[in-house]
Amino acid sequence: MEIVVLVLVLIIAVLISNIIASKLTQVPLAFIEIGVGLVVAVIVPYYRHYNMDPNLFMLVVLAPLMFYEGLNTNMRVLRRSLSTTFSLAVGLALVTVSIVGISAHIMLSELALPLAFALAAIITPTDAVAVSSVTANIAMPEEAMQTLKNESLFNDASGIVIFDLALQAFTTGKFSFTYGFFDFIYVFLGGLLLGAILGSLLVSLRTFLINHRLDNSSVIVTLGILTPFFVYFVAELVHVSGILAVVATGLIHGIQQGRLRLTSTKIQVVSNTTWEVISDNLNGFVFVLLGVSLPTVITDISYRNNTFLLLLTGISVLLYALMTLLRYLWLRMDFATVRVRPEDKNTNCWIIALNGIHGTITLAMAFSLPLTLHGSAFPYRNDLLFIATIVIILSMLVPSLVLPFLLPRQTDPFLPAGASAARQEMIAYAIQKITELNEDPLETQAVVATLNSQIKPEIVKNRHILKQLFAQTRDVENEVLDELVADEKITEKDRRLYKRTLLARDIYLDNSIFRSLWLQFSYRFLYHFKSLVHGKAFRQKRQQLQHNPNLIKKFKSKHDLLVEIESQTTQRVFEYLQSPKVNKESPTDISIVQRYYRERHRRYQNNSNSNEIQEELFIKAFQFEYNFVQNQLSENKITRELANALYEQISNDELIYMQNDEIYD
């Protein structure tokens, strides 16, 4: 139960962060999540002394994130820049660990050299997700962004392997360069190979399920979610890099997208949406946890004096500056090539150097430092945690401050106001064309009301006005009933019977779920009470009435009469709602009343053709929307980007309608 509560707290924290970020668009989301994490650490007692389980973090958070990154990697770009990617992910990582480790040992001489290398390994891996968060409002060069993403896919494994070797050397006091080299090769290449094999097998399994009509969402989507956990677990069992294994599996799934497209559109939409939600929340978890851990880290080193705290902060700043300079020199000296124009080379080198942002892996490795060694507290654990935390914050803060001077702000291909106006014109055009078809009036009104709801949702601002409108329509119904009685088309008894059916409308007007539940409960209670009191005789009498031919005929006759009365009253109500007598200042309320009468009419008529009629009208409406966008684009009234956005919106609307329509159940 405790774990469930903690996960819920994290989800709520990420949700609050996203809400705040939607209002504070100038502040990177990562900083907001760190701030919310600090608040959580203060409010939630458990998080005040939080120690993260690194193995659980790697499996539950990092594995699915890296799988998703691999899945969405552009393989064409990766193949084209493979040498650059591995130069940064392996070559630069090894050089950085060596130089930064020695520098850390020199600056903090009491820190053992293996621990200094462990610290260097912790703060070396980069995080493309953090880059995306920090640079969300900046127009990053595409080549630089792709380079950073590809680098972060593989340098995590370099940092983890070196970190493990450094810890082993410190705890055992032994280190073999030959053993370390071959262990690095085994873990690195073994992870890639195992991930490729398991990824191919899982893709073949999904293809088999699809070909045998077992491709429902509960199977395919669930299999996709379980994939990174399974691959990571197997990789750790054979002692290869679980991170590289899930990356390779994601890449294989990305390569085989052509085979996976055999799945239905619904499954692809559900799968993509599910992974987007999972990825966004897991990324949020990382930075919320960073914020949560800050008070613990600072508290744990509070026994030191302020001078030492300033020393650690200074060391963190120098190490970050050194890593950034190494990244710049590595690119500037062409150890890794970025395909840009010569005049843009220096700027791009600085951009990639500054965007060596640290996050997920750095945090996980920092927390994976042992708590004890030979029965005593692990030496300098809190100091290393503090340095790693400061480096993470600096790596996000510096580019947030510097990059806006190097790069322009991100500009949208079209303004939201323009997109909204174009969408409203598109829907209005479809409504006009649907109305001009002069098909079934009631079903046309239903389709038009649904299309209108896309522009402005039906929100009741004043229930008193709505009740007044319903009272007016009731008067109209009573007028129709009076006329029918006066013309002797129905009896007074028939009128009373019909008016009793208006009880459902009264419950609808009151909008009281408690009243509805109370009526249902009262009916059920009375039925079971009579059944209990009168016993078998009551049930037998009820069964006889239900199978009595004369009673059935009489009931059908009354039902047909009520259907006829309802048809006439509904027609008169719609005429009244469209007449000048009705106040047109509240179109939302009128739409709600019309919708109520349409749904009531459908229930009374029980017309099996109504769904088919609506389906045809909706399909025509979607086609009218497509035609509108095509015409606007051909006349250069909208841009290609806006047209694509409108096309996507129409496709989503069409898909949702088809999935929710009763015909396709």
Q: Choose the weakest-confidence range: 83-92, 258-267, 420-429, 635-644.
A: 258-267
> What is the DSSP annotation of 644-659?
HHHHHHHHHHHHHHHH
Which of 169-183, 238-252, 439-453, 516-530 has the largest mean confidence?
A: 238-252
Summarize the confidence of residues 338-355 as an average pLDDT. 79
Reading the block at residue 68, the tokens are 């998703």
- Residue 312 CB contacts under 8 Å (≥ 6 apart), including other chains: 301, 383, 386, 387, 390
Q: What is the pLDDT of residue 324?
A: 93
Residue 524's pLDDT band (boundaries 50, 70, 90)? low
Residues 238, 244, 250: CA angle, nearest 5 degrees: 115
User: Which residue type, as a one-letter code, is found at position 605?
Assistant: Q
Q: Evaluate whether 365 touches 58 at the Cβ level (below 8 Å).
A: no
pLDDT at 421 over 50: yes
Q: What is the pLDDT of residue 336?
A: 81
| Residue 287 lies inside a defined structural domain of this protein | yes
- Dihedral sign computed on CA atoms, order 8, 14, 17, 21: negative
> What one-character DSSP code corresponds to residue 138?
B
Q: Evaluate whether 16 touches 271 at the Cβ level (below 8 Å).
A: no
- Residue 617 CB contacts under 8 Å (≥ 6 apart), including other chains: 434, 437, 439, 443, 444, 447
pLDDT tens-place string over residues 457-510: 555 556 677 778 888 888 888 888 888 888 888 888 888 877 776 665 555 445
> What one-character DSSP code corresponds to residue 50?
-
| Residue 108 lies inside a defined structural domain of this protein | yes
| Domain co-membership, 237 together with 200 | yes
At 373 the three-state DSSP class reads strand
Q: Choose the weakest-confidence range: 466-470, 530-534, 587-591.
A: 530-534
| Domain co-membership, 401 together with 550 | no
The larger pLDDT score, comparing residue 72 to residue 605, is at 72
Rounded to 10 degrees, the C-alpha dihedral 191/193/199/200 comes to -170
- Integer angstrom CA distances of residue 486 from 69, 495, 559: 75, 11, 21
Q: What is the pLDDT of residue 483?
A: 87
In the chain, % of residues over pLDDT 90:
10
Q: What is the pLDDT of residue 50?
A: 67
Question: Helix 242-255 to helix 63-71 angle, to the nearest 10 degrees?
Answer: 30
Calpha distance 267→218 (Å, rounded): 9
Coarse DSSP helix, strand, coil percentages of the chain, rounded to the nearest 5 percent: 80, 0, 20
Q: Evaluate whether 234 touches 290 at the Cβ level (below 8 Å).
A: no
pLDDT tens-place string over residues 509-521: 454 555 556 656 6
pLDDT at 37 over 70: yes
Residue 194's pLDDT band (boundaries 50, 70, 90)? very high
Q: 15-21: long-range contacts (C-beta < 8 A, 24 or more apart)?
A: 17/284, 17/288, 18/280, 18/284
Summarize the confidence of residues 282-299 as an average pLDDT. 79
| Domain co-membership, 187 together with 82 | yes
| Domain co-membership, 427 together with 492 | yes
Residue 109's pLDDT band (boundaries 50, 70, 90)? confident
Q: Evaluate whether 170 touches 118 at the Cβ level (below 8 Å).
A: yes
Q: What is the pLDDT of residue 195?
A: 92
The phi and psi torsions of 511 (rounded to 5 degrees) equal 55, 40
The larger pLDDT score, comparing residue 587 to residue 146, is at 146
Residues 410, 396, 362: CA angle, nearest 5 degrees: 130
CATH assignment at residue 87? 1.20.1530.20
| Domain co-membership, 396 together with 528 | no
| Residue 217 lies inside a defined structural domain of this protein | yes
Q: What is the pLDDT of residue 595?
A: 75
| Domain co-membership, 338 together with 422 | no
CA 614 from centroid of its chain's CA atoms:
31
| Domain co-membership, 358 together with 435 | no
Residue 665's pLDDT band (boundaries 50, 70, 90)? very low
- Integer angstrom CA distances of residue 635 from 201, 338, 431, 646: 50, 40, 21, 16
> What one-character DSSP code corresponds to residue 378?
P
Summarize the confidence of residues 169-197 as an average pLDDT. 82
| Domain co-membership, 610 together with 644 | yes
Number of domains in the chain: 2
> What is the DSSP annotation of 408-448?
PBP--SS-HHHHHHHHHHHHHHHHHHHHHT---HHHHHHHH
Q: What is the pLDDT of residue 139?
A: 76
pLDDT at 631 over 60: yes
| Residue 376 lies inside a defined structural domain of this protein | no
pLDDT at 165 over 50: yes
Summarize the confidence of residues 389-399 as an average pLDDT. 88
Q: Evaluate whether 654 touches 660 at the Cβ level (below 8 Å).
A: no
pLDDT at 531 over 70: no
Residue 663's pLDDT band (boundaries 50, 70, 90)? very low
| Domain co-membership, 353 together with 450 | no
| Domain co-membership, 232 together with 331 | yes
| Residue 620 lies inside a defined structural domain of this protein | yes
Q: What is the pLDDT of residue 315?
A: 92
Q: Which domain holds residue 516?
A: 416-664
Q: Is 523 left (phi over 0), alpha (psi -120 to 50) or beta?
A: alpha
| Residue 228 lies inside a defined structural domain of this protein | yes
| Residue 208 lies inside a defined structural domain of this protein | yes
Summarize the confidence of residues 624-645 as an average pLDDT. 87
Calpha distance 510→260 (Å, rounded): 50
Picking from 545, 88, 563, 121, the residue whose alpha carbon sits closest to that of residue 364 is: 121
Q: What is the pLDDT of residue 131?
A: 75
To the nearest whole number, what is the mean pLDDT of the chain?
Answer: 79
Q: Choose the weakest-confidence range: 206-220, 230-244, 509-523.
A: 509-523
Q: What is the pLDDT of residue 104?
A: 92
Q: Choose the weakest-confidence range: 176-185, 298-307, 579-588.
A: 298-307
| Domain co-membership, 465 together with 611 | yes
The larger pLDDT score, comparing residue 446 to residue 412, is at 446
Q: Is 334 left (phi over 0), alpha (psi -120 to 50) or beta?
A: left
Picking from 553, 565, 555, the residue whose alpha carbon sits closest to that of residue 604 is: 565
CA 24 from centroid of its chain's CA atoms:
20
pLDDT at 145 over 70: yes
Calpha distance 632→641 (Å, rounded): 12
The larger pLDDT score, comparing residue 182 to residue 300, is at 182
pLDDT at 51 over 80: no
Instruction: For the beta carbon of residue 616, count every other beta carbon within 10 angstroms.
Output: 15
pLDDT tens-place string over residues 557-572: 777 777 888 888 888 8
Question: Helix 549-577 to helix 587-605 angle, to the nearest 10 degrees?
Answer: 160
pLDDT at 178 over 60: yes
Q: What is the pLDDT of residue 662?
A: 44
Question: Helix 142-172 to helix 345-354 angle, to the nearest 10 degrees?
Answer: 40
3-state SS of 172-209 is: HCCCCHHHHHHHHHHHHHHHHHHHHHHHHHHHHHHHHH
| Residue 378 lies inside a defined structural domain of this protein | no
| Domain co-membership, 337 together with 443 | no
